[in-house]
Amino acid sequence: MPELAKKRPEFRNINAFTDLTTYRLPAPGWVSILHRISGLLMFVLLPFIIWMFDTSLSSEFSFARFKAAFNSGIGFVPGFFVKLVVLALIWAYLHHFIAGIRHLWMDTDHHAVEKRIGGQSAKVVLVLSIGLTLILGAKLFGLY
């Protein structure tokens, strides 16, 4: 007699306290959630982005202050934390941009919304955004 396939769990109403530990979100789900998080992060940190842009372009003195923010910090915030915030912004921009291109591609190509291709493109988005963030983060932290 053939073995019966293991019955997969069925989630109808997910309880955040009991079901999230066993629920496996597929790659397209992660990309979608991270796309929203990256957009929110860029929006919330927009005053910091504007400050960085203004400080880096106003004058030679302000550019020196901009560079010093990465080494000695800003006020009571250490320079290492400033670099981490900028690294988070780099990731947010790259992920949001690449995932946005994926969404536009899926809107125009009927085959792109198939389950297999959608999963593959989501994995490409994750690999590209994390890989490019690591490369630019290495530059930010002075590794090359």
What local confidence, expressed as pLDDT, does residue 88 receive? Answer: 97
Q: Is 9 helix (H, G, I), strand (E, B) or coil?
A: coil
Residues 86, 73: contact at Cβ < 8 Å? no
What local confidence, expressed as pLDDT, does residue 3 receive? Answer: 65
The 10s digit of each residue's pLDDT in 51-105 is: 999 999 999 999 998 899 998 988 899 999 999 999 999 999 999 999 999 999 9
Taking all residues of the chain, what is their mean pLDDT, rounded to a whole number? 90
Q: Is the pLDDT of residue 137 over 90?
A: yes
The whole-angstrom separation of Cα 107 and Cα 68 is: 44
**Full set of structural domains in the chain with CATH:** 27-140 (1.20.1300.10)
What local confidence, expressed as pLDDT, does residue 1 receive? Answer: 52
DSSP, res 111: G
CA separation, residue 75 to residues 45, 65, 95, 106, 125 (Å): 18, 12, 30, 45, 36
Both tokens of residue 52? 């960085």
The whole-angstrom separation of Cα 77 and Cα 91 is: 21
- Band of pLDDT at residue 129, cut at 50, 70 and 90: very high
